[in-house]
Structures are given as C-alpha cells and as structure tokens.
Amino acid sequence: MKFLKRRTALAVMGAVAAATLAGTAMAQTVTLRLHQMLPPQATIPARALTPWAQKVEAESGGKIKIQLFNAMQLGGAPPQLFDQARDGVVDLTWTVLGYTPGRFPKTEVFELPFMSGSAEASSRAIQEYVEKYAADEFKDVKLIAVHTHGPGLFHTKTPVTGLESLRGMKIRGGSRIINNMLVKLGATPVGMPVPAVTEALSKGVIDGTTIPWEVTPALKVTELVKNHTTFAGKDGLYTQTFAFSMNKAAYEKLPPDLKAVIDKNSGIETAAMFGKAMDDGDKAGRAIAEKAGNNIVALDALETQRWRRTAATVETDWVNEMKGKGIDGAKLAAEARALIAKYSK
C-alpha cells in the first residue's frame, strides 16, 4: 500500500513537473528572423512588414519577437530569399516570385500585360487564386500571404510617348514574363532584381526601368530619370507577384497558441494589407515625381490600345507554354481576371 501511495505521489510530482516545464516552454519568447531585400524606408518594409511584425508581437502577448533584417543584411541575393525561408536559413522572407523564373508557373499569370490595377484588389485576388489553383507551388513553406503591386509603368531617361519611342531602349525587367513583354514592345530587356536598379540607372547600364511608383523614392529613381509613362484605364502595363513565407519547421515548432497568432495574420486580409500599402505607396511616389517637376506622360486610350494589342502575344506565349506542362493556362487566366473583377467592385 505504501509502495502504491509512493508511486502515485511520484506520478503526480512528475506530472506537475512536466506541466511546469510545458508552461515554461509556452512562456518562453520565440524570436523569428525576417529577411528581405529593400531598404527599411521602402514601402513594404515600412508600411507592411513592420506593422505586421508589431501586430504579431502584440497579439502573442510578447511571446513572439520578430527581428527584421533589411537590404539582404543576412547575406545572399534576392533570388535566394524564397529558398532561405524554405531551407530554414531564416524564419521568414518576403520576395518577388519572378526572381526565380519558371518556378511558380501558375502564379505568374498575374504578371501578364494589362491584367490588373489596384494592388489591394489584385492582392485579394491572387491570395484566393493561389489557395484554389496554385497551393502546390508553395507546399514547401508556410505561406503567410501572396500579393501584387499596383499598376506597372515606365521610368526612363528619355520620354516614352508611344510604341516607336520605346524601341531599342535598354529597360530593366523584373521577371521572365515582363522581359518577354518588353521584347514584344520593341525594347531590349535587362533582367535584374529591383535593388540593382539605382546603380544600373546611374551607370547607364539601362535607359529606364519598369517598376511601380511606390518603390521609386527608396531607389531614388525620380532623381535619376525625369520621365514617367502611364497608361489609360485602370490596369497597369504589368504587375509583379510577391510571397511572404515562413519556414515550415519554424512554424510547426510553435505551441498551438502562437501558431494561432501566425494563422490569424496569414491569408487574404494580410494579402490585402500588403496590397493597400502598395497602393498608398504609389500615391506617395507619384506625388514626389510631380513635386520634382518631372515629365509624366499619360498615353491616351487609342495609344494604350496599340500597346495592348502588341503585348497580347505575351499571354498567347504563356498559354502555349503552360499547355506543354499540362496546365490549362487559358482557364487560369480567365479565373485570375474573374477574381480581380470580383475584388475590384
């Protein structure tokens, strides 16, 4: 009897000790390292990643701490960011999907010419689209959100006033889809990640760049070029796609309450928050160019239609390429447009 009592007491003590250890583990702070490519004052680090990190820290009661490393501080190059999250080199990364050509074929439908306008609407659309049609492309990470930027346009040393004036210009492109579009439009594409744009413009490596307004202040583009070309209608010439990803093992190691915090700050509302930051950044970036007295060329509807017709073969190329991979590209393009329309109302 004494033996049984002693064994029971030991069991209780063991259970209490285990519970105490578990409680201690739950109470411990988890530090997550977030790595991205842009300077801290750029739109996404300043208006999306930092607010997101602060929200997660607050909602976790301080149990999650997020260290934000800007401008590739932890090493590597922008095209390696997605794999840094996948491989656990860091815990979280934000990057441009087009920097790894051909790796996200179904998701890159959003990059097709004149596909979208508002970043907030198209970010909601791409999040729903990925969850429905392209989740397999992100199976190796815990996907926080995907999003797009706003209307893409040209920023050039000499004005682009029509298709003819673009011909022969060396223009930076941020993805294979955009580079193909530049070829169709008569430019010479020069592929490079966005952080390289400032030096490339200042050294004359390129004559201009395709980027949205929002990133122009951080890259000093409105100081390096004085001409900006926009298009008639709500849609931009192009957009790019982005992923905010978390290492799967880092997520799985979190206790349930902290997983719930990450889950709450993932998905469509997070995508929309990033998109809205891009839209707000576009307004701020354009205002800086206007204040500087730069030349903003607004192509009229007739000229924009010429660009649309010329760039349309980019979509044909993509649909045919997808067919070779056993993917119904035409259906995916239609689904993407339907989702953008749904969220643009």
Q: What is the pLDDT along the chain (345 residues), one digit of tens a residue?
A: 444 444 444 444 444 344 333 444 445 899 999 999 999 999 999 999 999 999 999 999 999 999 999 999 999 999 999 999 999 999 999 999 999 999 999 999 999 999 999 999 999 999 999 999 999 999 999 999 999 999 999 999 999 999 999 999 999 999 999 999 999 999 999 999 999 999 999 999 999 999 999 999 999 999 999 999 999 999 999 999 999 999 999 999 999 999 999 999 999 999 999 999 999 999 999 999 999 999 999 999 999 999 999 999 999 999 999 999 999 999 999 999 999 999 999
Domain with CATH 3.40.190.170 in the chain: 31-149+240-281, 153-238+291-318
Q: What are phi and psi of 57, to 5 degrees?
A: -60, -45
Q: Residue 125 and residue 342: Cα distance in Å, rounded?
A: 8
Instruction: Kindly state which CATH superfamily the domain 153-238+291-318 is placed in.
Output: Bacterial extracellular solute-binding protein, family 7 (3.40.190.170)
What is the torsional sign of CA 95, 97, 98, 100? positive
Element of type H or E holding 188:
strand 188-191
- Cα–Cα distances in angstroms (integers) from residue 317 to residues 108, 188, 324, 338, in the given order: 13, 18, 11, 21
Query: What does each C-alpha distance from 178 to 24, 72, 320 come to in angstroms?
Result: 51, 24, 17
Q: Which fold has domain 31-149+240-281?
A: D-Maltodextrin-Binding Protein; domain 2 (3.40.190)
| Residue type at position 203 | K
pTM above 0.95, yes or no: no
CB-CB contact of 149 with 115 (8 Å): no
Q: Note the pLDDT tens digit of each residue in 277-292.
A: 999 999 999 999 999 9
At 11-70, the pLDDT tens digits run 444 443 443 334 444 458 999 999 999 999 999 999 999 999 999 999 999 999 999 999
